[in-house]
Structure 1
């Protein structure tokens, strides 16, 4: 059997926005550097994701040395300089958590509000924006749904393609870390892995929702509810939940690289 290796590293600077593919990524306790450091919310502080607003899937972030360049269909790009992030804080509700982040410039709010056709704010997760995963104080997390890193497997994706839509893209599942070289669904049995100097704990399978039925490029919903329908038929967790991929915690920070070997510790 071949040794598993990393084939993809992805970050999403703005929650629900388009991914950035990287050759290397720094894994810190709260997740990959610059992953889900920003979130969009309404004026009352309720977070907005592509589940409610699929136009976010087409919101592209480009990393530059002193900030982000945002672009979207029908909009001229806009530059967010990190030094322009305001000291004003706003509470934002992310599922059952409420935390305070820093407001971004009003020009960014106006640009995003025009694109989404509703009033919104862009919020930055700074070191004082405290949130933990699973109510565990030693498990800090940023604006991801619940855990810092999501791992998926190319073989598990192929299992979906074999039983359902053959053109299903990994991008639908919004992973941070993609591996190949292990059998389909093998990741369900891993408990701890190491990649280079980085050590990771596999906490729980990732439950899937209707978001994966939306085309990651256009935002359009699949009329047959695929690939969720196929996934529900061929793979569920022990408690019957429809799952794909695994949620990870970082137990030893360090640098991740595409091509690195994945060692199964437990």
Structure 2
């Protein structure tokens, strides 16, 4: 039988924005390089995600050597150079965490505000924008909801498809790291894994919300609340939460590559 291996690596430069598939990704203690480095917030600094505004799902970031090219339906592309990001900071809130992010240019704010139809700002998370997961100083995290990396399993997705909508896409679950050739839900029982030189700790299952009921390309919501309804029926955590995938912390940084074997440490 084949050993588990990496079948996909994904980053989301802007929180709740479109994904970028990569053949390899450098893994830092705070997550994959360039993953959730930017975030949209309202004028008061409260974070905005596709839960509140599904139009963010179609906000595409193209990585170039000195910045990002932003594109969205009905908008001309906009080039954001890294050296345009202000050294001034503004206070922002992600769930119950408060931190200081660097401001992006007013032209970017205006472009995003026009696209979303309301005043918003884009902020950048650099090493001084310090935030930790679970109030643990040894667990730094960027603008992700709670943990640096999200792992999902192709077999677990197939188990969900077998019981519910067959067309359910993995991108609904917004993973960073996808594995194959492991039994369905095997990730629930893993504690630590090694992939190449990278070592990862599986901290907790990822609880799911209504965001997975939205088409990841159109933003349209499923009239039958799928696949959340099926997931709630077939797979819950020990404490009854509806979960899919696992939240990971990085214990040893390094390079992740598609095709690399996954070694179970505990």
TM-score range, shorter chain: over 0.9
CA distance in structure 1 between the aligned counterparts of 2:154 and 2:40, rounded to whole angstroms: 30
- Asked if 1:208 is matched to 2:208, the reply is yes
1:195-251 deviations in Å (ceiling 9; x for gaps): 000000000000000000000000000000000000000000000000000000000
CA distance in structure 2 between the aligned counterparts of 1:147 and 1:126, rounded to whole angstroms: 16
Q: Where does the alignment leave 5 or more consecutive residues of structure 2 unmatched?
A: none
Q: Match for residue 237 of structure 1?
A: 237
CA distance in structure 2 between the aligned counterparts of 1:98 and 1:117, rounded to whole angstroms: 25
CA distance in structure 2 between the aligned counterparts of 1:17 and 1:120, rounded to whole angstroms: 14
CA distance in structure 2 between the aligned counterparts of 1:43 and 1:90, rounded to whole angstroms: 10
Q: Match for residue 132 of structure 1?
A: 132
CA distance in structure 1 between the aligned counterparts of 2:203 and 2:164, rounded to whole angstroms: 28
Q: Match for residue 148 of structure 1?
A: 148
- Asked if 1:174 is matched to 2:174, the reply is yes
CA distance in structure 1 between the aligned counterparts of 2:200 and 2:46, rounded to whole angstroms: 31
Q: Where does the alignment leave 5 or more consecutive residues of structure 1 unmatched?
A: none
Give the TM-score, by structure 2 length: 1.00
SS in 1 for 2:18: coil
1:149-195 deviations in Å (ceiling 9; x for gaps): 00000000000100000000000000000000110000000000000
CA distance in structure 1 between the aligned counterparts of 2:217 and 2:202, rounded to whole angstroms: 29
Cα RMSD between the aligned structures?
Answer: 0.4
Q: Match for residue 160 of structure 2?
A: 160
* Equivalent residue pairs, number: 266
Shift of 1:88: 1.4
Q: Match for residue 8 of structure 1?
A: 8
CA distance in structure 2 between the aligned counterparts of 1:135 and 1:126, rounded to whole angstroms: 19
CA distance in structure 2 between the aligned counterparts of 1:96 and 1:49, rounded to whole angstroms: 15
CA distance in structure 1 between the aligned counterparts of 2:43 and 2:84, rounded to whole angstroms: 20
Q: Match for residue 256 of structure 1?
A: 256
Q: Where in structure 2 are the equivalents of 1:1-266 lying within 5 Å?
A: 1-266=1-266
Give the TM-score, by structure 1 length: 1.00
CA distance in structure 1 between the aligned counterparts of 2:230 and 2:27, rounded to whole angstroms: 32
CA distance in structure 2 between the aligned counterparts of 1:91 and 1:223, rounded to whole angstroms: 37
CA distance in structure 1 between the aligned counterparts of 2:127 and 2:237, rounded to whole angstroms: 34
SS in 1 for 2:175: coil
CA distance in structure 2 between the aligned counterparts of 1:199 and 1:126, rounded to whole angstroms: 23
CA distance in structure 1 between the aligned counterparts of 2:102 and 2:2, rounded to whole angstroms: 46
SS in 2 for 1:260: coil
